[in-house]
């Protein structure tokens, strides 16, 4: 199973872009990268996912390197409510189903 590596913590000024890196150097060709965030030990919340192309939605952008060994989640204008633990996840396909392999996440603190 592919594993992900993230910095344990990051700070970002409110209103600035938050760029959260993730390393997934052992990812397989058909494995997707997902990003979730978790606020105050609530259930993780879906943000975005991608395979090899860059993706954007109303919450964030996902930039995946051409070799797919790393990716960056971008929150374009961070707010205090974006303070959370952000998980970069590889979705692995085995035994006919998909499962999420979580790393330890990055604790993002948005500063006023």
Q: Give the nearer residue to other proteins in terms of CB position, either 14 or 38.
A: 38
Q: How many chain residues are in contact with other proteins, going by CB under 8 A? A: 23
Q: How far is the CB of 15 from other proteins (least distance, A)?
A: 28
Distance CA 7, CA 34 (A): 16
Distance CA 47, CA 95 (A): 26
Q: What three-state secondary structure class fits 82?
A: helix
- Which positions from 38 to 77 touch other proteins by CB under 8 A, shown as an x/- string? ---xxxxxx--x----------------------------
Per DSSP, 18 falls in state: E
């Amino acid at each position: 199973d592919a594993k992900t590596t993230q910095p344990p913590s990051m700070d970002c000024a409110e209103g600035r872009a938050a760029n959260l890196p993730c390393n997934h150097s052992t990812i397989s060709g058909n494995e997707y990268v997902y990003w979730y965030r978790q606020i105050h030990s609530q259930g993780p919340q879906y943000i975005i996912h991608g395979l090899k192309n860059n993706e954007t939605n109303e919450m964030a952008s996902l930039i995946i390197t051409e070799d797919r060994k790393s990716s960056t989640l971008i929150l374009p204008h961070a707010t205090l409510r974006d303070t959370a633990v952000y998980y970069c996840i590889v979705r692995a396909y085995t035994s006919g189903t998909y499962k999420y392999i979580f790393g330890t996440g990055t604790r993002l603190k948005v500063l006023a």
